[in-house]
């Protein structure tokens, strides 16, 4: 018997900048992702620019701003994985047909903001961009697949970042709302599930785990940017409901399950604060419509002064989300004690958990952590939950006959789906699950193809070679069976 409700939304997920390619086609403008080079687990991606005297330059991605007066630029001699990605832009029909074959009930994708508004501050949208997504959504419906659309997935138009300072500027709220409203109106009847911002808490996670010397300035900027995004999201929720009462809008939080490293009360408290600082801060505002009490602790600690108007607070209260969506890949240990046995792998950076295994990229594999997270979130918000990212990034080696056997991926997905079923049996309302990178795409953190999540293999390497041919992996057939049985048959 299945633990999952009859209309459970099984599916897969991708984002525009990691899949579409066609970065300069049909009037699309640049985003930050287009000026970030390829990398690897041990080779950090670079961001490229031209400085004020016209000299090319590069900088480690995400760690600092480019020099004053410089502009981000695509430079000769560098490889930028987003430019072609897996060419979903031209191959979406083939890909969606494969998703149809898998039996997907939903497909999560994002709209590239700069396809619709190339600079971001135009009043009139780019018709070719609108048309592309219309065709994608229509194609989904051919197979009975409900699109689940993220409006902003790490790809603000570059022009908005450079001319206005991105989300440091309150004007961004209006640009975002114009974009969101255009999408809600254009795709009325085609899309009813929306996510306002992907992993909105991502900057908090990075700032907490990789502290910079000037942390007060860093947190001041992050909390202000987040405030504008909360208001933008809340206004978008209200608009979505006005335009079509069928619309369901979710927040999207990067979910990591934190455990205290020792029973020392200091660790217990520190662990609790990590949940608040990183996981709850955004969800509390977006689900409850107001800042939580512990925001005082955080704002005081970093001496933060925020631009928050009375109208903002009204909007936050009026625009709470309909569902809580989140990603989950790993758990992490939190301790105030020195410890030499550390692992480094994205959000798992920290103390090694002796009870867990780690992925080839150092991410802690912890299916029970998913159950723990779901139960905690449902207990806190009592809102429908959707797991919109979960999966294993691993190296896949095609066999000599071309087949791709990935029992490790099946084992990962199976264990996580089992724990999700246990959380549902516990009483949590989970309405959907979209496996991340259901077709191999560019890794967001490292820019590689080698780190594959897909149920469908894409023939492409880390520097752009390959035919881009699509091939179902062993996990494709397994997931097909899981969906057909509504999660009752998880056997390998
Ligand atoms: C999430 C992002 O952080 O994790 C995705 O929303 C990303 O865009 C995913 O791809 C997995 O991370 P990575 O770095 O392995 O691609």
Task: Report how far ligand 1's centroid is from the alpha carbon of 38 (Å).
Answer: 14
Find out whether the beta carbon of 108 lies less than 6 Å from any atom of ligand 1: no
What is the model's pLDDT at position 344? 64
Query: Is the pLDDT at 357 greater than 90, yes or no?
Result: yes
What does the radius of gyration of the chain's CA atoms come to, in whole angstroms? 21
- Give residue 63's pLDDT band: very low, low, confident or very high (50, 70, 90): low
- Cα dihedral sign, 332-337-340-341: negative
| Contact call for residues 389 and 14 (beta carbons, < 8 A) | no
Question: For residues 439 and 19, is the Cβ–Cβ distance under 8 A?
Answer: yes
Q: Which atom of ligand 1 is nearest to the CA of 346?
A: 14
Q: Who's near 319: CB < 8 A, 6+ residues apart?
A: 233, 234, 235, 236, 237, 238, 289
Helix, strand, coil share (%) of the chain residues, nearest 5: 40, 20, 40
- Residues 361-402 pLDDT 10s: 999 999 999 999 999 999 999 999 999 999 999 999 999 999
Residue 348's pLDDT is 53
Nearest to 490 by CA among 428, 439, 441, 433: 433
What mean pLDDT is predicted for residues 78-89?
98
Instruction: Please give the residue that has the higher pLDDT: either 342 or 245.
Output: 245
Are the C-beta atoms of residues 255 and 324 closer than 8 Å to each other? Answer: no
Which atom of ligand 1 is nearest to 15's Cα? 8
How much distance in Å is there from the Cα of 443 to the middle of ligand 1?
A: 6
The predicted structure's pLDDT at residue 350: 75
- pLDDT for 33: 95
Residue 57 scores a pLDDT above 80: yes
Contact 327, 255 (CB under 8 A): yes
pLDDT at 210: 78
Percent of the chain with pLDDT over 90: 92
pLDDT (0 to 100) of residue 282: 98
Q: Which residue has the tokens 């967001």?
A: 444
Distance 202 CA to ligand 1 centre (A): 11
What pLDDT score does 286 carry?
Answer: 99
426-448 confidence digits (pLDDT tens)? 999 999 999 999 999 999 999 99
Question: How many CB atoms neighbour CB 177 within 10 A?
Answer: 17
Q: What is the mean pLDDT of residues 458-462?
A: 98
Residue with CA nearest ligand 1 atom 7: 444
pLDDT per residue over 146-174, tens digit each? Answer: 999 999 999 999 999 999 999 999 999 99
Q: Is 255 in the pocket of ligand 1 (CB under 6 A)?
A: no
pLDDT grade for 462, boundaries at 50, 70 and 90 = very high
More confident position, 454 or 2: 454
Share of the chain above pLDDT 70, in %: 98
Residue 134 confidence (pLDDT):
98
Q: How far is the CA of 406 from the centre of ligand 1 (A)?
A: 20
Contact between 355 and 295 under an 8 Å Cβ cutoff? The reply is no
Higher per-residue pLDDT: 352 or 109: 109
- The whole-number pLDDT of residue 345 equals 59
Name the residue among 31, 280, 7 with its Cα closest to residue 152.
31
Residue nearest to atom 12 of ligand 1 (CA): 444
CA distance 454 to 85: 14
Instruction: Give pLDDT, residue 339.
Output: 79
Q: What is the pLDDT of residue 342?
A: 74
**Could you tell me if residue 433 is left (phi over 0), alpha (psi between -120 and 50 degrees) or otherwise beta?**
beta
**Known catalytic residue: 389?**
yes
Q: Which of 199, 208, 375, 448 is catalytic?
A: 199
Per DSSP, 486 falls in state: T
The predicted structure's pLDDT at residue 346: 54
Whole-number pLDDT of residue 62? 66
Mean pLDDT of all residues in the chain?
96
312-351: pLDDT as tens digits: 999 999 999 999 999 999 999 999 998 777 776 555 557 8
> Whose CA is closest to atom 15 on ligand 1?
443
- Which residue shows structure tokens 């997931």? 479
Q: State the pTM of this model.
A: 0.97
Inter-residue contact 18 to 85 (CB < 8 Å)? yes
- Tell me which of 2.60.120.10, 3.30.230.10, 3.20.20.80, 3.40.50.1220 is the CATH number of domain 9-29+82-484: 3.20.20.80
Angle at 468 between CA 463 and CA 469, to 5 degrees: 145
Which pLDDT band holds residue 212 (cuts at 50, 70, 90)?
A: confident
Residue nearest (by alpha carbon) to ligand 1 atom 14: 445
Tell me how long the chain is: 492
Residue 100 CA to residue 484 CA, distance in Å, equals 12
What is the band of 299 on the pLDDT scale with cuts at 50, 70, 90?
very high
pLDDT in tens, 103-143: 999 999 999 999 999 999 999 999 999 999 999 999 999 99
């Amino acid at each position: 018997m299945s633990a999952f409700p009859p209309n459970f939304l099984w599916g897969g997920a991708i984002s525009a900048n990691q899949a579409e390619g066609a970065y300069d086609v049909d009037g699309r403008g640049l985003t930050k992702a287009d000026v970030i080079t390829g990398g690897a687990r041990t080779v950090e991606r670079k961001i490229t620019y031209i400085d004020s005297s016209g000299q090319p330059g590069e900088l480690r991605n995400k760690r600092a701003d480019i020099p004053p007066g410089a502009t981000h630029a695509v430079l000769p001699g560098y490889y930028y994985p987003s430019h072609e990605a897996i060419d979903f832009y031209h191959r979406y029909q083939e890909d969606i047909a494969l998703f149809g074959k898998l039996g997907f009930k939903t497909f999560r994708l994002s709209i590239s903001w700069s396809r619709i508004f190339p600079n971001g501050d135009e009043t009139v949208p780019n018709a070719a961009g609108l048309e592309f997504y219309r065709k994608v959504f229509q194609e989904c419906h051919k197979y009975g697949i409900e699109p689940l659309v993220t409006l902003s997935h790490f790809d603000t138009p570059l022009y908005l970042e450079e001319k206005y300072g991105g989300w440091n500027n309150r004007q961004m709220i209006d640009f975002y709302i114009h974009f969101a409203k255009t999408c809600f109106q254009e795709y009325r009847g085609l899309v009813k599930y929306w996510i306002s911002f992907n992993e909105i808490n991502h900057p908090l996670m990075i700032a907490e785990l990789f502290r910079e010397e000037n942390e007060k300035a860093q947190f001041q900027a992050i909390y202000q940017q987040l405030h504008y995004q909360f208001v933008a999201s809340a206004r978008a929720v209200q608009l979505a409901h006005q335009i079509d009462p069928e619309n369901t809008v979710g927040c999207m939080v990067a979910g990591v399950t934190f455990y205290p490293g020792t029973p020392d009360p200091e660790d217990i408290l520190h662990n609790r604060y990590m949940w608040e600082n990183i996981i709850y801060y955004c969800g509390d505002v977006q689900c409850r419509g107001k800042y939580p009490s512990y925001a005082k602790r955080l704002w005081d600690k970093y001496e933060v002064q925020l631009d928050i108007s009375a109208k903002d607070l009204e909007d936050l209260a009026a625009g709470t989300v309909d569902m809580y969506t989140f990603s989950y890949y790993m758990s992490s240990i939190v301790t105030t004690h020195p410890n030499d046995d550390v692992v480094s792998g994205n959000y798992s950076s920290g103390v090694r958990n002796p009870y867990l295994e780690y992925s080839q990229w150092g991410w802690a594999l912890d299916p029970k952590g998913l159950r723990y997270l779901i139960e905690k979130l449902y207990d806190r918000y009592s809102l429908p939950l959707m797991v919109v990212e979960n999966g294993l990034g691993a190296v896949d080696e095609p066999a000599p006959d071309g087949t791709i056997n990935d029992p490790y991926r099946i084992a990962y997905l199976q264990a996580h789906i089992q724990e999700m079923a246990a959380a549902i049996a516990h009483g949590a309302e989970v309405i959907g699950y979209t496996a991340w990178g259901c077709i191999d795409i560019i890794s967001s953190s490292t820019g590689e193809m080698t780190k594959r999540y897909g149920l469908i293999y894409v023939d492409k390497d880390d520097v752009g070679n390959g035919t881009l041919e699509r091939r179902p992996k062993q996990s494709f057939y397994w997931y097909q069976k899981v969906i057909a049985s509504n999660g009752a048959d998880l056997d390998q």
